Amino acid sequence: MGDEVVLLDFWPSVFGMRLRIALAEKGIEYEYREEDLRNKSELLLEMNPVHKKIPVLIHNDKPICESIVAVQYIDEVWNKKAPFFPSDPYQRAQARFWADYIDNKMYDAGRRVWSSKGDELEAAKKDFLEVLKVLEAELGDKPYFGGETFGYVDLTLIPFCFWFYAYESCRNFSIKAQCPKLNAWANRCMKKETVAKSLADKLKVGECVIKRCLGLISETVTEGWVDAGCYPSDASPAFNFVCCVGC
Amino acid sequence: MEEVKLLGTWSSPFSYRVLWALELKGIPYQYTEEDLYNKSPFLVKCNPVHKKIPVLVHGGKPICESMVILEYLDGPWPHNPLLPSDPYERAVARFWAKFADDKGTVIWTMFRSTGEEQKEAVKGSLEMLRTIEDLALGDKKFFGGERIGMVDLAFGALAHWLGVFEEIVGIRLLEPESFPRLHKWTKNFKEEPAIKENLPDKDKMLSNFRCLREKLLASP
């Protein structure tokens, strides 16, 4: 039976990146469809009536929504290659716990770093660093969160790390200095072909941000970026300019 | 069989998600009531990241976060499964469990606020209930089908806590005429012995949450 796999996505989305990595890890062929978040397709609205958001995985016409739900689905269906989870139930629970932590803490903490100023920014940086330190402690000396091999937690986290460079350039704190193990882990992951080809082009993101702050493209072009886990759309133009230089 | 402990609190729907699951599966456990204003060293040791309940401790090993615990239980105790076996059905269940966690907080916001903030929260709560009514339940007896499953437990707060909050703030959300399926589900859910025999006392809840609301509104 032929499997038909379609991914409704948006190129800078950190959540979409998770699915691209998952599909690449399993060697699954799929059709990538870029959504215009200002003009969502009928298909997207039909496949995700609850949230009307990307990414949506469509497998033989059946939609799976929410990135961490879809990643688990991919692992369970295409279970002969590159398992994302350990086999031990307790270790699986730990992996789920950390994915939940990343989803709840990382997104909010990172967003506040991006959009705050003054005292609020200092507090946001402190909170963000706390989150990173907790993750650094959990990683320890393992090459990946899953142990020897790249797995569920690594996959959940790595798309956010795409923004580390931007934070370091513009928010004046060094992730490398504060969380050296996490930094090394991020570099290790990004060397993997499946990850490297799935992450949005840094330069393309930077270019879009420059154009926006120079008024060459309207704010509506980057509308929806915040929801997709890319923060620049709600930061000041001056900050955006500095940021893309860093990128 | 290794020992199972549950650290929880009598008034938390998250704590009850796990308690109900243990009861439904007939898993023997030792329950410890935690004082959240004076957390035990054991709780902090078991959940250093969040320092929250519920925590399940199985053979000395802690598992935290209620939905993570529910997913865990089917592993060592596969009978009366909380999740379906088909991968697509599992994905649908996980989607709704995540929806319950992500959107459910709007009910708490309605409870702890006043004025404009509360108005917005009421609007959000009604939208959430509408989505569940129209898209999640269908004509099934439970979200899990014929038997209670993970999604039913995830939405458990709607069956018992919502009524208490509605009474305290004086706003009715879950009207039977507007939400017939959901309303029927709350009745079916609370009639299951494992649930019926394990619900916090309503009067105690009213008194406790009334007090809590006053405290929350009084603080800056």
Q: Hey, are the CB atoms on B72 and A69 less than 8 Å from each other?
A: no
pLDDT at A152 over 60: yes
ipTM: 0.95
Judge whether residue A245 has pLDDT over 80: no
Look at residue A85 in the predicted model and tell me its pLDDT.
97
Is A175 in contact with A182 (CB distance < 8 Å)?
yes
Q: What is the pLDDT of residues B97-153, one digit of tens each?
A: 999 999 999 999 999 999 999 999 999 999 999 999 999 999 999 998 999 999 999
Alpha-carbon Rg for chain A, nearest whole angstrom, is 18
Tell me which residue has tokens 């330069």: A203
What torsion, rounded to 10 degrees, do the Cα atoms A146, A150, A151, A155 define? 120
Contact A93 B91 (CB under 8 A): no
pLDDT at residue B63 greater than cutoff 60: yes
A203 to chain B, closest Cα gap in Å: 33
Classify B109 as helix, strand or coil: helix
**Please, which residues have CB within 8 angstroms of residue A42's CB and are 6 or more apart in sequence?**
none
CA atoms within 13 A on the CB side of B62: 19
- The predicted pLDDT at position A211 comes to 60
Q: How far is A67 from chain B (nearest CA, A)?
A: 10
**pLDDT at position A247, please?**
29
- Asked if B99 and A50 come within 8 Å (Cβ–Cβ), the reply is yes
The model's pTM? 0.91
Contact B94 A49 (CB under 8 A): no
Burial of B167 by CB count in 10 Å (0-12 exposed, 13-18 middle, 19+ buried)? middle
Give pLDDT tens digits for A126-149. 898 899 999 999 999 999 999 999
Looking at beta carbons, which residues of chain A come within 8 Å of B63? 90, 93-94, 97
What pLDDT is attached to residue A218? Answer: 58
Q: Which of residues 70-99 of B touch A (CB under 8 A)?
A: 71-72, 75-76, 87-88, 90-91, 94-95, 98-99
Chain B residues with CB under 8 Å of A134 CB are 49
Residues of A in contact with B90 (CB under 8 A): 72-73, 76
CB atoms within 10 A of CB B33: 12
Mean pLDDT of A197-203: 74
Q: Are the CB atoms for A97 and B65 separated by under 8 Å?
A: yes
Nearest chain A Cα distance for residue B2, angstroms: 13
Of residues A163 and A196, the one with the higher pLDDT is A196
Q: How confident is the model at residue B85, as a pLDDT?
A: 96
pLDDT digits over A74-124, tens only?
999 999 999 999 999 999 999 999 999 999 888 888 878 777 788 888 898
Interface test with A, best of B27, B49, B89 (most A CBs within 10 A): B49
- The answer to whether B114 contacts chain A (CB < 8 Å) is no
- Say whether pLDDT at A151 is over 60: yes
Q: How many angstroms separate the CA atoms of B107 and A153, rounded? A: 30
Nearest CA in chain A to B58: A90
Q: A128-159: b or e for each residue (b if 16 or more CB lie within 10 Å)?
A: bbebbebbbebbeeeebbbeeebbbbbbbbbb
User: Are B156 and B82 in contact, with CB atoms under 8 Å apart?
Assistant: no
Of B65, B91, B95, the CB nearest to A100: B65
Nearest CB among B67, B76, B87 relative to A76 is that of: B87
Please list, residue by residue across B72-93, b when 16 or more beta carbons sit within 10 angstroms of its beta carbon and e when fewer do: bbbeebeebbbbbeebbebbbb
B207/chain A closest Cα distance in angstroms: 32
Closest CB from B72, B87, B95 relative to A93: B72
- Interface with A, mutate which of B52, B72, B102 (most A CBs under 10 A): B72
SS3 B4: strand
Query: Is the pLDDT assigned to residue B203 strictly greater than 60?
Result: yes
Give the least confident one: A104-113, B14-23, B141-150, B166-175.
A104-113
How confident is the model at residue A228, as a pLDDT? 62
Arithmetic mean of pLDDT, A10-28 = 94
How wide is the angle at C-alpha B126 spanned by C-alphas B120 and B127, nearest 5°? 90
Q: Does A237 have pLDDT greater than 50?
A: no
Contact status, residue B117 vs residue B109, Cβ threshold 8 Å: yes
Task: Give the H or E element holding residue A170.
Answer: helix A164-171
